[in-house]
């Protein structure tokens, strides 16, 4: 790491508190719209930091916002804390030891903790500097398919924000390429007519047949859609377990992804037609319900250059022998393809002898590899947004797996988390100290919005699928 810096000192002074916060969230992993304990932990820490706290924003009980300062530009730092189902794993061991239930297979226990760490340190620096400005931390639930940020954007929570900064745990270090897929989740429920499958099959109209025919139609469509589009599905209700009863009701969830919102709308229309075709073939009817939707990421060069400058000053996280030994143990459970894929996503040639990323990828780099989706995309359409990737795990670690969950409380994960907080705080400081950088970011964003106005991927009638707190 380069010469020390006051804002880095303010981050480091919070080290123990935020490692404890990350571990606390890890120990109580919760999934979409049930993150009550995690939101409680974040609210408690925000109050300890002297923030003005709002809970339940956008009508979401597990969303929390903390704010410091006044006047000036409002700089948002985005955090998350939701987990994934069935990924509970004993931490610190390099073999699968499932604990049952959900787990942080995408590192969001670290994501939210580092984001708040950065926001609180930035707030202290802003107060010391005497500059006008507001720092706002957004505690965002349900990123893993729940699209909470999309609802928050739709409800106007970013209307007064000048710019937004976030990060994601990774096996590499660098400014994130602003490439993701817009997506929507739609449940198609088919209604048929029950009958005795042997005694009077001619009287039945199978909803399950309709689902299967729809899936076949979507499968044939895959040859005739853009290469980077994706459609996945899951049976939510297969119509029961009795094969001698014609299934009267069945539901399939289709997850449709496309490079941008315009392409997504086109694909949705085609999938809808396939569903209607399935009803004609089976003499059933279909009900369609949009569950969630997110936009593709919109890049902002001015913001990306500001974050790259922060990386250039900071360098990469510093790992020790213990970290490298654990990373090597994890890598023994992976293949060379896993390792190569990590390097390829950063536009770099594979180095199979390097267990942890001790380097920062250049901003100007080729980008290859598969893409996922994120509700950060909708924030990026609302305000100029930038995202970092910071190493918290062994190179090659696939996300949404036990290997990632196993590393979530490790010392190397905590070091990466702290480093991410410094990157974000340093980037945000640039926006306060250099108004011309923020002005350039906002002008670039406005020009893109003029060319392609934002259209929320979720209709107004779609509401967050709130789940009550367990007794």
CA-closest candidate to residue 410, choices 389, 393, 391, 388: 393
Whether 340 maps to a domain, the answer reads yes
Angle at 253 between CA 248 and CA 258, to 5 degrees: 145
Q: Are residues 438 and 325 in contact, defined by beta-carbon separation less than 8 angstroms?
A: no
Residue 112 and residue 228 share a domain? no
pLDDT at 1 over 70: no
Average predicted confidence (pLDDT) for the chain: 96
What pLDDT digit, counting tens, does each position of 329-342 carry? 999 999 999 999 99
Q: Which helix (H) or strand (E) holds 425?
A: helix 411-433
pLDDT digit string, tens, across residues 248-283? 999 999 999 999 999 999 999 999 999 999 999 999
169 and 199 share a domain?
no
Host domain of residue 246? 182-294
Overall domain count for the chain: 2
For residue 371, the model assigns a pLDDT of 80
Q: Quick check: 347 pLDDT over 90?
A: no
pLDDT at 470: 86
**Would 108 be classed as within a structural domain?**
yes
Residue 140: strand, helix, or coil: strand
Structural domain contains residue 201: yes
Do the domain assignments include residue 466?
no
pLDDT value at position 190? 98
Specify the CATH number for the domain of residue 83: 3.40.630.10
Cβ(421)–Cβ(79) under 8 Å? no
Residues 174, 313 within the same domain = yes
Q: Are residues 290 and 148 in the same domain?
A: no
The owner of tokens 């509970």 is 88
Query: Based on the domain organization, do 107 and 34 belong to the same domain?
Result: yes
Q: pTM (2 decimals)?
A: 0.94
Do 131 and 245 sit in the same domain of this protein?
no
Same domain, 277 and 330: no
| pLDDT of 17 over the 70 cut | yes
For residues 218-228, give the mean pLDDT. Answer: 96
- Average pLDDT for 32-60: 97
Residue 370 in this model has a pLDDT that exceeds 80: no
> What does the pLDDT read at residue 324?
98
Question: Does residue 454 carry a pLDDT above 80?
Answer: yes
The candidate with the shortest Cα–Cα distance to 407, out of 352, 343, 336, 328, is: 328
Assess if residue 42 is contained within a domain.
yes
- The pLDDT, as a whole number, for residue 160 is 98
Question: With helix as H, strand as E and coil as C, how does 58-91 read?
Answer: HHCCCCEEEEEEECCCEEEEEEECCCECCCCECC
pLDDT category, 367, cuts 50, 70, 90?
A: confident
Residue 339 falls inside a structural domain = yes
Please compute, for residue 121, the number of CA atoms within 13 A of its CA located in the half-sphere on the CB side.
31
Domain of 257, CATH number, reads 3.30.70.360
- Rounded mean pLDDT of 196-204? 97
Residue range 160-182, pLDDT digits in tens: 999 999 999 999 999 999 999 99
Taking the CA of residue 168 as centre, how many other CA atoms within 13 Å lie in the half-sphere pointing to its CB? 20
**202 and 55 together in one domain:** no
**pLDDT at residue 366, as a whole number:** 82
Clarify whether residues 279 and 302 are in a common domain: no
Residues 75 and 193 in one domain: no
Q: For the chain, give the percent of residues with pLDDT over 70.
A: 99
Same domain, 167 and 197: no
Report pLDDT for 142.
Answer: 97
């Amino acid at each position: 790491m380069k010469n020390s810096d006051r804002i880095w000192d303010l981050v480091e002074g919070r080290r123990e508190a935020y490692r404890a916060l990350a571990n606390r969230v890890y120990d109580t992993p919760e999934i979409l719209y049930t993150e009550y304990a995690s939101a409680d932990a974040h609210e408690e820490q925000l109050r300890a930091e002297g923030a003005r706290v709002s809970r339940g924003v956008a009508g979401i009980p597990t969303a929390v916002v903390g704010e410091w300062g006044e006047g000036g530009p409002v700089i948002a730092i985005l955090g998350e804390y939701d987990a994934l189902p069935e990924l509970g794993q004993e931490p610190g061991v390099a073999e699968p030891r499932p604990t049952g239930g959900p787990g942080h297979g995408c590192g969001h226990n670290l994501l939210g903790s580092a984001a708040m760490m950065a926001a609180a340190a930035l707030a202290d620096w802003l107060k010391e500097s005497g500059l006008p400005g507001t720092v706002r931390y957004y505690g965002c639930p349900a990123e893993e398919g729940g699209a909470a940020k999309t609802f928050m954007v739709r409800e106007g929570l970013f209307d007064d924000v000048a710019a937004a900064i976030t990060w994601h745990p990774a096996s590499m270090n660098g400014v994130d390429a602003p490439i993701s897929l817009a997506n929507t989740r739609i449940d198609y429920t088919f209604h048929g007519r029950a009958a005795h499958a042997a005694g009077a099959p001619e009287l039945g109209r199978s909803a399950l047949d309709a689902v299967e025919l729809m899936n076949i139609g979507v499968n044939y469509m895959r040859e005739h859609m853009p290469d980077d589009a994706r459609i996945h599905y899951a049976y939510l209700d297969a119509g029961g377990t009795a094969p001698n009863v014609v299934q009267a009701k069945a539901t399939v969830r289709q997850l449709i992804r496309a490079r941008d919102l315009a392409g997504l709308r086109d694909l949705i229309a085609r999938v809808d037609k396939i569903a209607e075709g399935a009803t004609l073939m089976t003499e059933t009817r279909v009900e369609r319900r949009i569950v969630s939707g997110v936009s593709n990421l919109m890049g902002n060069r001015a913001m990306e250059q500001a974050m790259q400058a922060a990386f250039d000053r900071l360098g990469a996280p510093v790992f020790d022998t213990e970290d490298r030994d654990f990373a090597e143990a994890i890598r023994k459970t992976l293949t060379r393809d896993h390792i190569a894929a990590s390097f390829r996503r950063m536009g770099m040639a594979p180095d199979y002898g390097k267990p942890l990323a001790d380097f920062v990828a250049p901003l100007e780099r080729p980008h290859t590899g598969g893409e996922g989706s994120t509700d950060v995309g909708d924030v990026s359409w609302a305000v100029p947004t930038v995202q970092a990737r910071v190493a918290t795990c062994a190179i090659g670690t696939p996300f949404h797996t036990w290997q990632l969950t196993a590393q979530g409380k490790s010392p190397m994960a905590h070091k990466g988390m702290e480093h991410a907080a410094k990157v974000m705080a340093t980037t945000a400081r640039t926006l306060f100290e250099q108004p011309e950088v923020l002005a350039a970011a906002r002008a670039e964003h406005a020009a893109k919005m003029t060319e392609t106005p934002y259209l929320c991927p979720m209709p107004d009638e779609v509401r967050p699928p709130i789940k009550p707190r367990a007794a």
